Amino acid sequence: MTVSGGPGPFRLGFLTHVHGRGRPVGAVYRELVELFVAGEELGFDGGWLAQHHFSPDYGRLPSPLLLLAAAAQATRRIELGTAVVVLPLEDPIRLAEDAAVLDALSGGRLQLGLGTGGPSTPAFGAFGRDAARRRELFAQARSRLRDLLVGEQIAGTDGLRLHPSAPTLTSRFWDSTTSADGARAAARAGDGLLLGIGPAASAQRPLADAYLAAHLAARPAVHSAPAGARLAVSHGVFPGPDRLTARVDLAPDIARFRPYLGHFGFSPDLDDGAALDAMNVHHGPVGVVIHSLATNPVGPAAVSYFIAAVQGEAGAAADLDATLRRMELIATEIAPALGWRPAPVPVPAPVPDRPTPIGPERNSR
């Protein structure tokens, strides 16, 4: 089943987990803003950031909304996504306040991806949360977050409400889950489903089918692809001169992912090329990448939002210039071959006249 979305068959985003091992973190963050500017100029529909707590190497960004605020000020059109905020570790009121401010600042461009935090299990104790209850905590926090953003009175107060409110933001929730029950819950809530880690055929496709079936069941008057269903998937996309070069560049990522292969029914002893395929990393010459994406069971043709992970953990895979070149190939050759069309580049806003200063500067004349 295919769902519609965006200016073509699918919307196109880029994703980074925020690497840059051994580099000053401030420089890494500033380069991320450059990625958003470049993504907007290339016509990408959105840029997405992952959240990781207490991670000095892989995943160095604990506060994605703060960085997205900087990206919002440097851009005018591109959507600003989280993939994902670990919701069970957040205070719903504070998250709602920050998200509402960012959405107002950016003109309604926030796409709020929310997750239960399976990979973040070691961090739960630091926040005083029980990792065994993460799905229950997620459901409770998502419900409260929705109520807060639409302006419901806050329980236990004398009529207090969130300010600013952001009622339209609730239509831009994306749930990330690894369970069919979670996928069905996202559909019933009217949220989008954001698919991440796992093989396309054995892990992602069943979740997509569960989501779409539940969405259709919740709206029985619709007899085709569920109206309003929002299905997104993130795959690695690393075009290059050949597949071997990509494998060498991505060696740290392959090593980090190997322990997960057994969870998905693969041998941890897979060669590097097979491991990348199991990780949904499309790599090699442009033509090879196009074919790999076109034949993937949860590729761009099967979703409304395709999000290309464009940065690896270290070396050439994490280098800014190499990342920008990958993004250019994705936007100019790969995605258009699959039916995507870039969004128009926004016209720069006129620069306002500088106001006459007041205070000491003016009085000193």
pLDDT at 315: 86
Q: Which amino acid is at 263?
A: H
Q: Are 192 and 230 in contact (CB under 8 A)?
A: yes
Tell me how far CA of residue 207 lies from CA of 98, 234, 304, in angstroms: 30, 14, 15
pLDDT at 355: 54
DSSP label at residue 18: -
- pTM (2 decimals)? 0.91
In a domain, 4, yes or no: no
In a domain, 265, yes or no: yes
Helix (H) or strand (E) holding 217, with range, is: helix 205-218
In a domain, 5, yes or no: no
Buried/exposed 125-145: b ≥16 CB within 10 Å, e otherwise: eeeebebeebbebbbebbebb
In a domain, 49, yes or no: yes
Number of domain units in the chain: 1
DSSP-derived secondary structure for 286-299 = HHHHHHHHHT-TTS
Helix (H) or strand (E) holding 215, with range, is: helix 205-218
* CA distance linking residue 115 with residue 51, whole number of Å: 10
pLDDT at 224: 45
DSSP-derived secondary structure for 220-258 = TT--SSPTT--EEEEEEEEE-S-HHHHHHHTHHHHHHHH
* CA distance linking residue 107 with residue 240, whole number of Å: 36
pLDDT at 352: 55
pLDDT at 130: 97
In a domain, 103, yes or no: yes
Mean pLDDT per 10-residue segment, the chain (365 residues): 48 94 92 98 98 92 98 98 98 98 98 94 96 97 98 96 97 96 96 93 95 88 60 96 92 89 87 91 97 96 97 90 97 97 72 54 44
- 3-state secondary structure (DSSP) of residue 120: helix
> Token digits for 96?
């709602």
In a domain, 241, yes or no: yes
- The CATH number for 220's domain is 3.20.20.30
Range of the domain at 241: 11-347
pLDDT at 358: 53
pLDDT at 343: 80
Buried/exposed 268-298: b ≥16 CB within 10 Å, e otherwise: eebebbebbbbbbbbbbebebbbebbeebeb
In a domain, 259, yes or no: yes
For every residue of 315-339, which 3-state class applies, written as one string? HHHCCHHHHHHHHHHHHHHHHHHCC
Q: What is the CA radius of gyration of the chain?
A: 21
pLDDT at 354: 54
Q: Which amino acid is at 53?
A: H
In a domain, 357, yes or no: no
